[in-house]
Amino acid sequence: HVTTRVAVVGANGRVGSALVRHLTESHDVTAIVRQPGESPVDIAVRAADGVDVVVNAAGVAHLEQPTPADRERLRVGNIDLPLALAAAALAAHAHLIHISSVKATPDATTEYGQSKYEANQRLESEFGDRFADSGLSLVIVRPLALLFPTLDAGKVARLRFLRHWPSVLTPPVRLPVLTSTAFEAVVTEALDTIAERGFRYRDFERTELGTLADVRRAFISSPMRGGGRS
């Protein structure tokens, strides 16, 4: 059995750190964290060096009222970096799995969603055929909001009332979230099918069936730490 060498970019983030823990169980994982002064191209070249697959879990999370500086961060983190990673992966003959967002749509109303959508479109138009011609795979995963039980997702304060809400009064509802297990399974699936060369999306077109009690366990019972939504 040949171990796949995988670089996870954004390894110190909420999504990236979860993926590093998960993928290390069956792959040779290199954790890539931005160093001071590094440009997107610098990060990309370092990430693609000597690996079979680059997984991009980096990015700038949703910002309610972005400032001009925030908009620059959104551009660099959500557009420039994925494109640089695609170019570097192609040059190094490595596959690329890009973690995007379900909010990356043509009618996105937030600058976060717009930045994610532009990156997806440019990855497809500028690199899709080139990956296919090189016998490589470029996969975009578009998850819903992610619930990782050991972390919160930014809106904990609004949900604190659930601490006192009786579990018997939390019937099953459709929650626009993914558990870490469901998300990690899809990334594993993408890794297992990288031999299918070319460009493709792996979208989540549904929501998890859960209860308010599930939200309470995931958001409330965990350590109170800040974070954005994927």
User: Rounded CA gap, 96 and 88, in Å?
Assistant: 10
Q: Which of 28, 22, 15 is nearest to 98 (CA)?
A: 15
**pLDDT for the residue 218:** 54
pLDDT tens-digit series, residues 102-161:
889 999 988 999 999 999 999 999 999 999 999 999 999 988 766 554 434 444 455 555
Using DSSP, state whether 136 is helix, strand or coil.
coil
Single out the residue of 131, 119, 139, 133 nearest to residue 191, CA to CA.
Answer: 139
Choice between 72 and 171, residue whose per-residue pLDDT is larger? 72
Cα 38 to Cα 22: distance, rounded to the nearest angstrom: 27
A 10 A CB-CB count for 64 gives 7
Kindly tell me the sign of the dihedral angle through the C-alpha atoms of 218, 221, 223, 224: positive
Mean pLDDT in residue range 43-69: 92
Helix or strand (DSSP H, E) at 138: strand 137-142
Instruction: List residues bridging with 175 in a β-sheet.
Output: 208
Lowest mean pLDDT among 77-91, 167-181, 198-212: 167-181
Decide if pLDDT at 24 tops 70: yes
For the stretch 127-136, pLDDT in tens is 999 999 999 9
How far the first Cα of the chain sits from its last, in Å, is 33
Q: How many other C-beta atoms can be found within 10 angstroms of the C-beta atom of residue 155?
A: 11
Residues in the chain: 230
β-pair partners for 96: 54, 138
- State both tokens at 137: 């795979």
Count CB neighbours of 193 within 10 A.
13
Kindly report the pTM of this predicted structure.
Answer: 0.80
Q: Is 154 left (phi over 0), alpha (psi -120 to 50) or beta?
A: left
Rg of the Cα atoms in the chain:
18
